[in-house]
Amino acid sequence: MRRGDVDAVLQLERAVYLFPWSARIFHDCLRVGYHAWVVTDDAGRVLGYSFLSIVLQEAHILNICVAESERGRGLADQLLDIMIEAATAARVESLMLEVRPSNRAARRLYKRRGFTFLGRRPRYYPASEGREDALLLCLSLVDA
């Protein structure tokens, strides 16, 4: 992902999430050097994106998103593959992420990819009524 992709990424983010990241968050993520990718079609249209932070032996998926019209054809798998590759190259031992318990598609994806439950962060996310917990999931990359 380059700075020039942020407008298209932001548009997708706003179409998908009820509580989207702001333009400032995207720019800050790029500025501090988080790893970020876009998946595009042949015309360069952004279909999906992801953000990964790597600190010492731990990597954290901060965002992974695929346009609604493009779901169910493995784009999230491609994004996960590239994040796992980057984390493995950085000798990271585990890949973590948070997911809403209500996010069934994402939970199915992570389960299929071997993520396991590590814990629950109470009231982690904003929700339409109050707050929603996060499930903390982990994928071990040791001997992967």
Ligand X SMILES: CC(C)(COP(=O)(O)OP(=O)(O)OC[C@H]1O[C@@H](n2cnc3c(N)ncnc32)[C@H](O)[C@@H]1OP(=O)(O)O)[C@@H](O)C(=O)NCCC(=O)NCCS
Closer residue to ligand X (CB): 23 or 124: 124
Question: Cα separation of 118 and 116, whole Å?
Answer: 6
- The β-bridge partners of 115 are none
> Is residue 112 within 8 Å of residue 105, measured between CB atoms?
no
Which region, left, alpha or beta, applies to residue 88 given φ > 0 means left and ψ of -120 to 50 means alpha? alpha
Answer yes or no whether residue 10 interacts with ligand X by CB under 6 A. no
Answer yes or no whether residue 112 interacts with ligand X by CB under 6 A. yes
Closer residue to ligand X (CB): 88 or 103: 103
Tokens 């970020």 found at = 36
Answer yes or no whether residue 74 interacts with ligand X by CB under 6 A. yes
CB neighbours of residue 22 within 10 Å: 11
For the record, the structure tokens of 141 come out as: 């990359």
Answer yes or no whether residue 137 interacts with ligand X by CB under 6 A. no
Question: Which positions from 52 through 71 interact with ligand X, judged by CB under 6 A?
Answer: 64-66, 71
Closer residue to ligand X (CB): 91 or 123: 123
Distances (CA, A) of 3 to 83, 103, 113: 19, 29, 30
Answer yes or no whether residue 7 interacts with ligand X by CB under 6 A. no
The binder of ligand X chosen from 83, 109, 135, 138 (CB under 6 A): 109
Task: Using CB under 6 A, count the residues that bind ligand X.
Answer: 18
Residues that bind ligand X (CB under 6 A): 16, 64-66, 71-77, 99, 103, 105-106, 108-109, 112
